[in-house]
Amino acid sequence: MIRINLVPQDEARRQAARQRDQQFGILAVVLLVAVIGIAEFITQRDADEVQREADLYQDQLAELTKKYQETVLLERKQKQLESKLKTIDILERQTRGPVRVLADLGEATPDKLWLTEMREAGGAAVLSGRGLDNQTVALFMRNLEHSPYFANVELVETKQVEDGKAKLKEFAIRSSVIYAGRQPKVEEPAADGGKAKKTAAAGAPASAETGASS
């Protein structure tokens, strides 16, 4: 059987060109869809990775926040405990205070000095008595200053009195009474002359006692 192509050659070329254009168009659409699909896949994958990292950071932040809150709570409890311990210590020292005040007062009193009266009100005390001489009264005042239960020791008055044939110094001393006791002071050694100052301080009571005995 013989076929005869009645379509002119130009029309045949145009049809072939249209078919190629359709094929290229279909291929371009397929490629575009493939590119869009790949881009969507990559974007979704990156988004999932970012979300996982965000969730991880959120968990770490929550853990750090919890630890921080626990630390703050622990520090608050520690401060409350320290405050309670300080209050207990002050109350204990105040309870022991009157006994220690009388004990220190007895230790501070020289042999040649006699107390005749002690008046105390509102933490202020007035001590009255008689001593052999001014040096003995001065030694008594220094001893009170060294006590943690007495402060602001000052001489109110002193006068000469006679007790039989003896001439004595009658005195009145004002002082603050600290029933809780003063905290001991920590003194740093001096860069120079510290040893000399310490020696002089140690020798002061001895000189006063020497003057008292004379």
Tokens in use for 160? 């000469």
59 inside domain: yes
In a domain, 3, yes or no: no
Report the C-alpha dihedral over residues 126, 127, 129, 132, rounded to 10 degrees.
Answer: -120
What's the mean pLDDT in 49-65?
A: 88
Examine residue 149 and state whether it is found in any structural domain, yes or no: yes
**Mean pLDDT throughout 138-162?**
92
Residues 94 and 116 in one domain: no
User: Does residue 127 share a domain with residue 91?
Assistant: no
Q: Are residues 163 and 83 in the same domain?
A: no
Give domain status of residue 60, yes or no.
Answer: yes
Q: Are residues 120 and 79 in the same domain?
A: no
**Pairing outcome for strands 150-163 and 166-177:** antiparallel
pTM over 0.75: no
**DSSP letter for each residue of 127-138:** EEEEESSHHHHH
Q: Is residue 82 part of a domain?
A: yes
Given a contact cutoff of 8 angstroms between Cβ atoms, the answer to whether 106 and 142 are in contact is no
| pLDDT on residue 200 | 36
* Same domain, residue pair 62 and 124: no
pLDDT-derived band at 7, boundaries 50, 70, 90: low
Whether residues 17 and 88 fall in one domain: yes
State the total domains in the chain: 2
Q: Is the domain of 71 the same as that of 121?
A: no
**Coil, strand or helix at 159:** strand
Per-residue pLDDT for 203 more than 60?
Answer: no
Looking at the predicted structure, is the pLDDT value of residue 83 above 50?
A: yes
Q: With bands split at pLDDT 50, 70 and 90, how would you rate the model's confidence at 212?
A: very low
Instruction: Give me the percent of the chain exceeding a pLDDT of 70.
Output: 75
- Does residue 40 sit within a domain? yes
Whether residue 92 is found in the same domain as residue 114: no
The residues, ordered by sequence, that sit 6+ positions from 130 with a Cβ below 8 Å of its Cβ are 113, 114, 116, 161, 163, 168, 169, 170, 171
What pLDDT is attached to residue 99? Answer: 76
Q: Among residues 204, 206, 142, which one has the least CA distance to residue 173? A: 142
Distance (Å, rounded) from C-alpha 5 to C-alpha 58?
76
Task: Tell me the mean pLDDT in the region 164-182.
Answer: 86
Residue 81 is predicted with a pLDDT of 82
22-39, pLDDT tens digit by residue?
A: 888 888 888 888 888 898
Residue 171 sits in a domain whose CATH number is 3.30.1360
Residue 23: give the domain boundaries: 10-98
